[in-house]
Structure 1
Amino acid sequence: MSAEDTLRRNKTGIQRILCGDDRFILDKVFENDLITKREYNILKSIREDVEGRVVELVDKIMNKGEETCRDFLDLLQTDEDIKSTFPSLSNIQLPGARPLPRPVQVSSSHSEVFLGQDNKNPKMDDLYPLNSQPVGLCLIMNNVNFMSLGVRRGSDKDAQSLAEVFSELGFRALMCKDQTKDQMEQTLTWFSSLNDHALPPQEFRVEEWSGTGFTEPQQPLNHGDAFICCLLSNGMEGVVLGTDENPLAIKHITRTFRATKQSALKGKPKVFLIQACQGYQRVDPEEDNCGGGSIPAEADVLVAIAAGEGFVSFRHVIEGSLFIQSVCQQLRERCPRGEDLLTILQHVKNDVGQKRFPNRPDKILQIPVVAFTMTKKLVLSLHHH
């Protein structure tokens, strides 16, 4: 197969993956003389979304013919910086190239796509197995009362909504409220190392959703086939804050759940839903909002953040946050249809991204960011109690 045909066949998947860091791949392509200085400047000046820039870049490469397509595919497979930034690209093969490992997926602005596979009817091998009862644990870290930042009103509504929907999806929903940075770190470390049935230490103040409220857990905890971690707090770029207003890096949080031979979560999906501002800017529709700095380093991890790095997220003092409430609504609507979590989060992104300032219809409120290294689809099902 020609390089041009290979690129055409995998075009959608390549574009999806490269959206994880569009500026990086644009610079790399220019450094390797695959586009001219003028083309580089035109692409760099595109003020649409990230997807628009990447689509234009791939189209330009394809329009340059077989040799440029071959050079582009070779760059994607051989450049060490590109391979480490976009590990999913390991699935793309040049004609005659040796088979490479199964893809790992990175940030997406499209629905989930596996390169070279039919996405319409996923096989069981393409799905994470969810056979345990309960399916797993959903840990909600709900920081409401801060030392000088005041009260995050509406956060309790988010915590309850998450507990309700993940209970309906077969998880045991647990909540830790008002933890300092060190307490958050200790709690996450304990959950990451949980292997046997155990009750969390009293000092963690873990409560479990009973269907009507949060009460002390009565049964020992054990990881099932998936883990959900919901972080509701204040934040700054790349971090969430403890109630003492000390920062805990999002990358550190995900790396706490690094897979080891002893880990009960090895090879299982670990999802992090983060409702926290990532700065003080408000979204400018003329700017990109990629948030690529939050791409997780470990396999089988998904991170969804309410807003991109440097931007605020919005929370109603009674109804809860735009992001979390959209997540809960979309899960309830779309899980019964068999949609996978990545597809559902794309709908969340679209839903939140359509919100506008009341007096500025041209001004977007916020745009969530999704980054992931999932190797399979995560399909959750409603459980009838």
Structure 2
Amino acid sequence: MSARDTLRRNKTAIQETLCGDYLFILNKVYEGKLIIPREYRNLKNINKQHVEGHVVDLVDKLMDKGEDHCKDFLTLLQTDDDVQQTYPELKSILRDTCFLPTPVQVCSADYNDVSPPESKRRKQELLYEVNSRPTGLCVIINNKDFGTGKERRGTDRDAESLAAVFSWLGFRALMCRDQTKDQMERALECFSSQSDLAQLREFNVEEWSGGAFAALRDPPRHGDAFVCCILSHGGKGVVYGVDLQPLSLKRITGTFKPTARSALAGKPKVFLIQACQGAQTQRGVLLEDLQADDASSPCIPEDADVLVAVATVEDHVSMRNIKEGSWFIQAVCQQLKEGCQRGEDITTILHHVNNEVGQREGGRQPGAVKQMPEVRFTLRKRLVLSPHGD
């Protein structure tokens, strides 16, 4: 049976499955160069209320392109690890279908006698081990009152949302309120070195428990991952303490640079920065048609295993609703809730965050006020966090 006939025979089941995350499969199809940029933009922006309509148009577009595109699409559905994790139902739908190159014997009757392929073993090795209980620490520095008569209204909502979602992911969520620049530095150094409770009392550390923050009782201990969230005002490459003194992002991440005996050596360290990076307001731009461009050591670098996600690119402001919280942090929390249940890794989830924030409008006219988060990382493996409970 041809690939096109196979796709037509299973079309309804495939479409129902892909509706679970339409933008994900659209991006995967685009990355695989099965559609050109103009088609991608048209499919992404079609005016339909229901996701089903978007998925139907995507599948129809691929079927109209002919046998080769249908074959490539089915191969993508069967072989891409991220696709299989996002849509596990596809395995049973396409169980008797195989359009893979001949050397790959996934359809062989003798498959059960074959040892796991090297690619599968490599994939398992490229995941960070996140098995500790708790998963690790999530430290939140929540700077709200800068003594200027204007509070960062909405920041408490961000802190609570972060604490709730990372507690759900098995972390101990700890918060320090209204820290000066020097206090931020010293607090981060204490958390890095796992200082005892006596040293942390200066910073009035609170812990999320039972849906609210309360006084810290037990000493913090690092697990298999570390998260640091800074909620404050900021400038280019810096965040401000409540004394309006700047602390550089490099200094923040550098505090957790591991040594040979560090509890965080070789473990993922994620930094989420909700702060402006300048005074400029980003504006939107109308895209024209674009042409696609077809054209293990025993030691690791000391700067490895770090991810920094900043609410906005340099020189620009970030948006915060005084009741609902900031665009960036609220998108992070929502996408973590959805993506972690699908088994997505942190960088994939942050791609969704970038897209969600980038779609938002901050003015009455489309494109007048926009925001684009920025993610950079030196992670060596995929970081997948799993829910531990409510």
TM-score range, shorter chain: 0.5 to 0.7
Contact 1:199–1:221 (Cα < 8 Å) also in 2? no
Instruction: Point out where structure 1 has 5 or more consecutive residues left out of the alignment.
Output: 1-15, 17-116, 288-295
CA displacement 1:55-83 (0-9 Å, x = unmatched): xxxxxxxxxxxxxxxxxxxxxxxxxxxxx
Indicate whether 1:133 and 2:138 are aligned: no
The corresponding residue for 2:232 is: 233
Which of 349, 353, 364 aligns to 1:348? It is 353
Which of 353, 368, 372 aligns to 1:367? It is 372
Flag the structure with larger Rg: 2
Q: How does 1:70-149 map to 2 (within 5 A)?
A: 123-148=123-148
Corresponding letter in the other structure for 1:284? R
Shift of the 199–212 alpha-carbon distance from structure 1 to 2, 3 Å rule, reads farther
Quote the Cα distance in structure 2 between the aligned partners of 1:121 and 1:384. 29
Corresponding letter in the other structure for 1:356? E
Give, in angstroms, the shift of residue 246 of structure 1.
0.2
Indicate whether 1:315 and 2:314 are aligned: no
Contact 1:175–1:206 (Cα < 8 Å) also in 2? yes
CA displacement 1:287-334 (0-9 Å, x = unmatched): 9xxxxxxxx981100000000010000000010000000000000011
Corresponding letter in the other structure for 1:328? C
Contact 2:238–2:248 (Cα < 8 Å) also in 1? yes
Quote the Cα distance in structure 1 between the aligned partners of 2:260 and 2:370. 43
**3-state DSSP of counterpart to 1:378:** coil
Shift of the 214–310 alpha-carbon distance from structure 1 to 2, 3 Å rule, reads same
CA displacement 1:191-245 (0-9 Å, x = unmatched): 11127x7565211110000122111122221100000000000000000000000
Quote the Cα distance in structure 2 between the aligned partners of 1:149 and 1:275. 21
Contact 1:126–1:376 (Cα < 8 Å) also in 2? yes
Give, in angstroms, the shift of residue 363 of structure 1.
3.2
Contact 2:285–2:367 (Cα < 8 Å) also in 1? no
The corresponding residue for 1:335 is: 340
Quote the Cα distance in structure 1 between the aligned partners of 2:149 and 2:258. 35
The corresponding residue for 2:260 is: 261
Quote the Cα distance in structure 2 between the aligned partners of 1:352 and 1:308. 12
Give, in angstroms, the shift of residue 336 of structure 1.
0.8
Contact 2:272–2:310 (Cα < 8 Å) also in 1? yes
**3-state DSSP of counterpart to 1:123:** helix
Contact 1:198–1:222 (Cα < 8 Å) also in 2? no
Give, in angstroms, the shift of residue 360 of structure 1.
1.5
Quote the Cα distance in structure 2 between the aligned partners of 1:141 and 1:247. 14
Quote the Cα distance in structure 1 between the aligned partners of 2:183 and 2:174. 16
Quote the Cα distance in structure 1 between the aligned partners of 2:158 and 2:344. 23
Corresponding letter in the other structure for 2:201? Q
**3-state DSSP of counterpart to 1:371:** strand
Shift of the 369–248 alpha-carbon distance from structure 1 to 2, 3 Å rule, reads same
CA displacement 1:37-62 (0-9 Å, x = unmatched): xxxxxxxxxxxxxxxxxxxxxxxxxx
Quote the Cα distance in structure 2 between the aligned partners of 1:137 and 1:211. 17
Quote the Cα distance in structure 1 between the aligned partners of 2:190 and 2:163. 20
Q: How does 1:165-180 map to 2 (within 5 A)?
A: 165-180=165-180
Quote the Cα distance in structure 1 between the aligned partners of 2:247 and 2:134. 29
Q: How does 1:284-303 map to 2 (within 5 A)?
A: 284-286=283-285, 298-303=303-308
Indicate whether 1:182 and 2:182 are aligned: yes
Shift of the 314–297 alpha-carbon distance from structure 1 to 2, 3 Å rule, reads farther
Across the aligned residues of Structure 1 and Structure 2, the Cα RMSD in angstroms comes to: 2.6
Quote the Cα distance in structure 1 between the aligned partners of 2:305 and 2:255. 13
**3-state DSSP of counterpart to 2:132:** coil
Show structure 1 runs of 4+ deviating over 3 A.
197-200
**Sequence identity, in percent?**
56
**3-state DSSP of counterpart to 2:366:** strand
Aligned pairs, how many? 263
Shift of the 211–183 alpha-carbon distance from structure 1 to 2, 3 Å rule, reads same
**3-state DSSP of counterpart to 2:278:** coil
Contact 2:283–2:367 (Cα < 8 Å) also in 1? no
**3-state DSSP of counterpart to 2:368:** strand
**3-state DSSP of counterpart to 2:226:** strand
Give, in angstroms, the shift of residue 284 of structure 1.
2.8
The corresponding residue for 1:152 is: 152
Give the TM-score normalised by the residue count of structure 2.
0.64
The corresponding residue for 1:202 is: 201
Corresponding letter in the other structure for 1:233? S
Quote the Cα distance in structure 1 between the aligned partners of 2:149 and 2:303. 32
Instruction: Point out where structure 2 has 5 or more consecutive residues left out of the alignment.
Output: 1-30, 32-117, 287-300
Shift of the 246–347 alpha-carbon distance from structure 1 to 2, 3 Å rule, reads same
The corresponding residue for 1:219 is: 218
The corresponding residue for 2:269 is: 270
Quote the Cα distance in structure 2 between the aligned partners of 1:200 and 1:268. 24
**3-state DSSP of counterpart to 2:206:** strand
Quote the Cα distance in structure 2 between the aligned partners of 1:158 and 1:309. 21
Corresponding letter in the other structure for 2:172? R
**3-state DSSP of counterpart to 2:367:** strand
Shift of the 323–149 alpha-carbon distance from structure 1 to 2, 3 Å rule, reads farther
Corresponding letter in the other structure for 2:319? F
Contact 1:164–1:211 (Cα < 8 Å) also in 2? no
Contact 1:354–1:364 (Cα < 8 Å) also in 2? no
